[in-house]
Structure 1
Amino acid sequence: MGRALAPLPANPTSLSLLLLLLLHLFSPLQPVEALGFQFGTFNPSTDYDTLAPIGPAVINKNALQVTPDSIGNVILTNQSGRILYKQGFKLWDGPPEAPTKVASFNTSFVINISPIKNGTPGEGLAFIVAPDPNLPAGSFGGYLGLTNATTDGHASNHLLAVEFDTFKQDYDPDANHIGLDINSVESNQTVPLADHGFDLAPNHTVFFHVWIEYDGGRELLEVYMIDEDESTPTKPKPASPIMTANLDMSKVVNQNSYFGFAASTGDNAELNCVLSWNMTVEELPKGTPAGLVIGLAVGIPAAALALAGAAALGVWAWRRRAAARDPNILGTLKCLPGMPREFKFRDLKRATGNFDEGNKLGQGGFGVVYKGVLTAESRRVAVKKFSRDELKSKDDFLAELTIISRLRHRHLVPLLGWCHQNGMLLLVYEYMPKGSLDGHIFCGPERQRLEWSHRYKIVAGVASALHYLHDEFDQKVLHRDLKASNIMLDSNFNARLGDFGLARAIDDEKNSYAELEGVPGTIGYIAPECFHTGKATRESDIFGFGAVILEVVCGQRPWTRAEFDGFQFLADWVWSLHRDGRILAAVDGRLGGDYAVEEARRLLLLGLACSHPIAAERPKTPAIVQILSGSVEVPRVPPFRPAFVWPSAGLLNEEGDTTDVTPMTSSSLFGPDWTSDIR
């Protein structure tokens, strides 16, 4: 979309025409940009700076508790609350009577609605677009924190909401539905959820993942929804929406509005929680400054001359900035769906202390990661600076950004944004306060040992993330560098898989990704067949995951030969203990026997199964997740480690048939020029 230009004046001067010509010739195209934010979890120590809880709503236990929980001497009934993002967004452009552009937005969030002490739930939770952060008085009960008896139904509310209703009022279809609310809690459109197998507030823990997408150009709102109980891994967004509505948002909400959540309880109470929240809003282009229009209309030579000089100066400054930024990369980035926020280089430079060595968190084959604090938001971040040669760094940067910007899973490190300025290629991730798993497993004596419950939870979290990448995302994604140093831990020791520098997406009809220069990954985690095929597959990712499991349980790196009674790799040593019937001797001695025996046995056998030399014999991620949940037994592991034979009977493809083992010669997504080194 081009810049909006001022109309020609009735009697233009030559300077005015010159200025307009300059603007037409030199105005850079302004592709649509997006604003937004991302909360993988919620931290009360930092997130009160960007979120505004109202009423009894609080940020607590890594969640937004929009109505109070049952801890402490708190009144739970007849309550209402709101939590909104503090920054407002411009949602339409032009005059109120005839808007010229309506912004699109996408949001996704995970919610948990729990009745108190298995009682009757009430009343509900809503995602809202509101004119201000205020909470109407008396908005408890059926008003859901949206309106009250006086204001309900008034167009002056300028309120839009998608409600998740758990209590039947006279105007509701039932006590378990979603609805589209416009200025009133009497929904314009409802969808009963029992028909879809959903129960918003059952007497057991269920997480609902919701996507709300609004297309301002088509005036179309769509709501997608899936349920995730504690034993089920994260599912992908459904192919079809559960609710679709035609909506001109400019006729409802204020031009500048706020996004957030509202909830209420009535005579019955429930806990209304939001566990994660991502938001992307189209940034509307800015029109021509008022001063420019006035100067052209008046046609005073001096004013026109000043404006022409300013325009020429602006053109020079723009060209200078453009020279430092690759327009091809920028064009690619801005066209990517769901692209996160673009950061200013000066803000990241300030946040990291000019990339001070004292702020370095780690360094890998592709770049250096620094910790930092965004002062304006008081938010801690991790900034990855790409450091290979210019061409390879651009490839690395685009590959990682292209893939991870589309991934949404609670066991992946959330990407917050990117920056490409001053010759720097930077990615900004959510800061993980517990650091890497590597730092806890192989810690020195001065650090506290990682207890068993955390170890098991971490392995299960990584398995869930890997299942998402391999089987649930709309493309198969190969991580290709699974190891302890690439697994980060949040404040509650939940695993977050990170470092997607080697990751590649592959087409649905393909099963592998071929690397033209060497075998990517880290020795000890690379599957043996990769050295023969030059291919990365889901089976090779499983092999790396097996190495991680053994690392976590044994507290040893995969290749430290001196620790393994002469065996070259950790898996060989554990297999020898399995053969001798004493596999539990492999458990990390620093635990001092303080571990769950059956869980340890399960993990060690699963680690060996994933480390099987023959790729087709390794379990797939759906089975792995079930094994870790205890619902499925570990597959039989032979007492002797099978020999690696090449060529073997072949790798299994998606249909269970053998595939050709000839190395691929072209990539499936990014072209034939991707390169990586063993590191």
Structure 2
Amino acid sequence: MVPPSMGPSCHLPCSTAAGVLLWCISVCLTLHAVRAQSATFTSTVGGKEFTTFSFPTFDRSLMQLPTNLTFAGNSSVTQNTLQITPDSNSASGPDNFLVNQTGSVFLSSPFVLWASEPAGGRYVASFSTVFRINLYRANATNKGEGLAFVVASSNGGGSPPPGSHGGYLGLTNASTDGNAANGFAAVELDTVKQPYDLDDNHVGLDVNGVRSTHAAALTPFGIQLAPIDTTVNDGFYMVWVDYNGATRRVRAYMAKNGSRPGVAVLDAPLDLSTVLLGKRAYFGFSASTGVKYQFNCVRMWNMTVERLPDSSTASRSMSGWKLGAAVGVPCAVALAIGLLAGLYIRRKGKMVAGVTAVDLSAIPGMPREFDFRELKRGTNNFDKKMKLGQGGYGVVYRATVAGEGGRSMEVAVKQFSGANTKGQEDFLAELSIINRLRHRNLVKLIGWCHQNGVLLLVYDLMPNGSLDRHLFGRAGDAPSPTLSWEQRYKVAAGVASALNYLHHDYDHVVIHRDMKPSNIMLDAAFNARLGDFGLARALDADKTSYTDRAGLPGTLGYIAPECFHTGRATRESDVFGFGAVVLEIVCGRRNSCCHPAGCSQLLEEAWELHGAGSVLEAVDPRLAGAFDEAEAERLLLLGLACSHPNPGERPKAQAILQILTHSAPPPDVPPSRPAFMWPVVLVKGDEEMYTSGSSATCSTVMTSSLLR
């Protein structure tokens, strides 16, 4: 059990924090021989307590009492998987064993999910869960019925309701369906169309019954539950369910791999305080079969729940959970890497201990550790001819290394400028953040190396290089083909999706702090991959900004004007940088002549053309008119809106993504560029509110020390 005082938001003395980190690692190493069961720990973030538990796999010993899980109906554990409905035929045949069955698996202990407030309102806890499912057809003809993630007032007393097979998913039956006395809410993954269903492949929110209050088809997302072809694990999906107690809203996401998409498959209002019969609730899964059947399996399950003040009962019962090898991946990595970030990022300018003081390779869940000799050989001794790019952090090289199965693969090796204090801070800062991020529009970290005083990170190689080379070219490079309009729009949408993930969909708010074309890579299909997280910072839950005491980092033209006065990086300042990138994508020109008030020649000309009603004249002439005018205007208006001098007027990443996916109209932009106001920041809840201050115009005064 990790003591609450050691949660990710605490500020420990250097020696204590280092000791805790090494203690964590030693615990992980000594538990490898223990059979994987479950792990739980409590953390404090922004003054709020959270309990996290993890089942990276399931063991049959979980079915033995006493245990952390309560099994009911036909549920079981087979082959390290929760089988919510029967998993195989018996001697009596499938018609007797698999048809019209139900099962459920719940946590044995409840959580308090809401509490009364003095003013008569209700405070509702938030939670987030991720699990991997396998909905598998027993034959190519049939599938049925489905599986649900459930929040319920009761764990069923050890038995699903009678008659709850078929379309009732083990939750209710014909006589009780829709009754408020049921006291449950569920996210269903339904594979059979009932008369009240949308189709036979959808996700839905069920409240006290199986007639979903909100439902969405999964086919448009490229998701097929219980597919016919299961030869390549097509029935396996990752499912994320996030519940925000403050906004009373539930969102569900689905993907084939571990990268949560930027767009939810389900987004619906849900006030659990009005659904549950009391303040306590159980979490779990329920499933059923009907006259047609399938295997409904859960292969892993992680969950974090906000603890309310009277959650002591659940806390005490969970404190006895068995710690096994499972503590390594979901828990120790988060804690150890979080402490690394705390030790090396928050203590800027003061090196607590060298990288060698911690054996990074011993932390479970870390990416592959490369041998220095292999990377040296793969880069031809770091030959200049293998250089892909260079920045304030160091140099990036192309390399060929051994991949899975001994096959060679090309990678990008980022060499930090030195193993001194700053180099080690940059290395650990980037490693601690990018290692935990999973998104299709982020550059993927493959591994790392720290040998012979050299710090290296190894990334997927992006065959089409960086965006700036395609837009502007580089001295000494052969001219790149002009990006088509379709490619440009796809790049803008991809970067927006990555930004939305960092700002709103990841566990913590991540501020990138260096949005620019040279940090946007293009894969073989010209999909955008945001990279270079050396300046990125993850914020505590109660923070909305980050201040770097070492000075204002970033690149002129992409730094928001308020940053020169506040010295703080925020989500709004990231959006400003994104706006500059969008204008460059459309116009094919660099930001230039940059000033502290956020002015640039490109931005000024775009505002002037917009005011004159001829904004499309800003489009890159190299396209020779081969572009979609409506999309071009949408992008240009979005670029201007994101470049608004006053941060409170810029759209959030969620709205940006909606605009780019045509789910929302283009932003309403004033005809002329507003004056920059130096705002006074007021904090209200978790949002920053800006009040007007003195206005400022473009100034030519700038120090070269701000350039990277």
TM-score for the superposition, normalised by structure 2: 0.54
**Counterpart of 2:644 in 1: which secondary structure?**
coil
SS at match of 1:198: strand
Q: Is the 8 A contact 1:352 1:372 kept in 2?
A: yes
Extract unaligned runs of 5+ from structure 2: 1-21, 40-53, 58-77, 98-130, 150-167, 172-184, 192-200, 203-216, 224-236, 241-250, 268-280, 287-291, 294-324, 330-352, 694-704
The answer as to 2:661 corresponding to 1:633 is no
What is residue 519 of structure 2 aligned with on the other side? 486
Q: Does 1:352 align with 2:385?
A: no
Residue of 438, 445, 450 corresponding to 2:468: 438
Q: Deviations over 1:214-244 (max 9, x none)?
A: xxxxxxxxxx973379x97246999x99867
- Aligned residue among 410, 413, 421 for 1:383: 413
Contact conserved, 2:360 with 2:366, CA < 8 A, in 1? yes
State whether structure 2 residue 622 is matched by structure 1 residue 593.
no
Q: Name the structure 1 match of 2:502.
A: 469
Return the match for 1:198 from 189, 214, 218: 189
| Residues 178 and 426 of structure 1: CA distance in aligned 2, closer, same or farther (over 3 Å) | farther
- Quick check: 1:481–1:502 contact (8 Å CA) kept in 2? yes
Q: Which amino acid aligns with 1:196?
A: V
Q: 1:619 aligns with which of 651, 670, 691?
A: 651
2:134 — aligned with what?
164
Q: 1:502-540 CA distances to partner (integer Å, 9 max, x unpaired)? A: 101111211111111321100000001111111111110
What CA distance in whole angstroms lies between the structure 2 residues aligned with 1:547 and 1:210?
35
Distance of aligned partners of 1:657 and 1:490 in 2 relative to their CA distance in 1, 3 Å threshold:
closer
**Aligned CA distance change for structure 1 residues 107 and 234 (closer, same or farther; 3 Å):** farther
Given candidates 520, 533, 537, the residue that maps to 2:566 is 533
Hey, what does 1:210 align to over in structure 2?
238
Compared CA separation, residues 503 and 677, structure 1 to 2 (3 A): farther
AA matched with 1:545: F
Does the C-alpha gap of structure 1 residues 233 and 367 become closer, same or farther in structure 2, counting only changes over 3 Å? Answer: same
Which residue is equivalent to 2:369?
Answer: 342
Once residues 378 and 614 of structure 2 are traced to their aligned partners in structure 1, the CA distance between those partners, rounded to angstroms, is 51
The separation in 2 between residues aligned to 1:430 and 1:237, in whole angstroms, is: 31
- After superposition, the Cα gap between the structure-2 partners of 1:451 and 1:33, relative to the gap in structure 1 and judged at 3 Å, is farther
Change over 3 Å in CA distance of 1:571–1:370 after alignment to 2: same
Counterpart among 621, 625, 642 of residue 610 in structure 1: 642
Write the distance in 1 (CA, Å) between the matches of 2:621 and 2:79: 54
> For the Cα contact (< 8 Å) 1:164–1:177, is it kept in 2?
no
Alignment of 1:489-528 (within 5 A): 489-528=522-561
Is contact 1:651–1:661 with CA below 8 Å preserved after alignment? no
Change (3 A) 1:192 1:456: farther
Instruction: Work out which of the residue numbers 392, 404, 409 in structure 1 matches 2:422.
Output: 392
In the superposition, relative to structure 1, how do residues 343 and 551 fare at CA in structure 2: closer, same or farther (>3 Å)?
same
Q: Counterpart of 2:395 in structure 1: which amino acid? A: V
2:610 is paired with a residue whose SS is helix
Please give the alpha-carbon distance, in whole angstroms, between the structure 2 residues aligned to 1:548 and 1:441: 11
1:449–1:591 CA contact under 8 A, matched in 2: yes
Structure 1, unpaired ranges of 5+: 1-27, 36-90, 94-98, 109-127, 131-141, 154-160, 180-189, 213-223, 246-266, 269-279, 285-325, 562-566, 663-675
Asked if the contact 1:381/1:429 (under 8 Å) is kept, the reply is yes
Give distance in 1, aligned partners of 2:688 and 2:489: 34
Q: In structure 2, how many angstroms separate the alpha carbons of the residues matched to 1:599 and 1:473?
A: 29
- How far the C-alpha of 1:458 sits from its partner, in A, is 0.8
Give how far 1:333 is off. 3.9
Shift of 1:388: 4.4
CA offset digits 1:85-104 (Å, max 9, x no partner): xxxxxx975xxxxx778899
Count residues with an aligned counterpart. 443
* 2:369–2:449 contact (8 Å) kept in structure 1: yes
Please list the CA deviations of residues 405-446 of structure 1 after superposition, one character each: whole Å capped at 9, or x if unmatched. Answer: 111111111111211111111111111111111111113784
Equivalent residues of 2:543, 2:686 under 8 A apart: no
CA contact (8 A) 2:38 2:55 kept: no
Residue 191 of structure 1 deviates from its aligned partner by 7.7
Q: CA deviation at 1:176?
A: 2.9
Q: Secondary structure at the match of 2:676?
A: coil
> Retained in 2: the 8 A contact 1:437–1:489?
yes
- Once the two structures are TM-superposed, the CA of residue 488 in structure 1 deviates from its matched residue by 0.7
* 1:63-212 mapped onto 2 (5 Å cutoff): 93=33, 164-165=134-135, 167=137, 174-177=144-147, 195-199=186-190, 201=201, 204-206=219-221, 210=238
TM-fit CA distance, 1:354: 2.0
> Partners in 2 of 1:502 and 1:630 — Cα distance?
31
Distance of 1:652 and 1:595 partners within structure 2: 42
Amino acid at match of 2:424: K
* Structure 1, 347-356 or 549-558: larger mean CA deviation: 347-356
Equivalent position amino acid for 1:638 in 2: P
Could you say if the C-alpha distance between residues 466 and 597 of structure 1 is closer, same or farther in structure 2, counting changes exceeding 3 Å? same
Alpha-carbon deviations, 1:557-598, whole Å to 9, x = none? 11169xxxxx84311110010011100000001111101100
Task: Give the secondary structure class of the aligned counterpart of 1:361.
Answer: strand
CA shift for structure 1 position 207: 5.3
RMSD of Structure 2 on Structure 1 (CA): 4.9
Q: What residue in structure 2 maps to residue 319 of structure 1? A: none
Selected match of 2:606 from 569, 574, 577: 574
CA shift, 1:331, in A, is 2.3
Q: Distance in 1 between matches of 2:458 and 2:589?
A: 31
The amino acid that maps onto 2:489 is Y
Contact 1:525/1:544, CA 8 A, preserved across alignment: yes
Letter in 2 for 1:396: D
Give % identity. 46
Alpha-carbon distance in structure 2 between the residues aligned to 1:237 and 1:366: 40
Deviations 1:432-466 (A, max 9, x none): 11111111111378421101111111111111110
Q: Could you report, residue by residue, the CA deviation over 1:56-113 in whole angstroms, capped at 9, with x for unpaired residues?
A: xxxxxxxxxxxxxxxxxxxxxxxxxxxxxxxxxxx975xxxxx7788999989xxxxx
Amino acid at match of 2:650: R
Q: CA separation of 1:33/1:488 partners in 2, compared to 1, >3 Å: closer, same or farther?
A: farther
Cα 1:281–1:379, aligned 2, differ >3 Å: closer, same or farther?
farther
How is 1:37-52 mapped onto 2 (pairs within 5 angstroms)?
none
Instruction: Write the letter of the residue equivalent to 1:429.
Output: Y
Distance 2:629 2:581 in 1: 19
Structure 1 pair 389–445 and aligned structure 2 pair: CA distance change class (3 A)? closer
Query: 1:19-30, aligned counterparts within 5 Å?
Result: none
Structure 2: distance between partners of 1:639 and 1:458: 27
1:413–1:234 CA distance, 2 compared to 1 (3 A): farther
After TM superposition, list the pairs within 5 Å mapping 1:4-23 onto structure 2: none
1:454 & 1:199 partners in 2: Cα distance?
A: 36
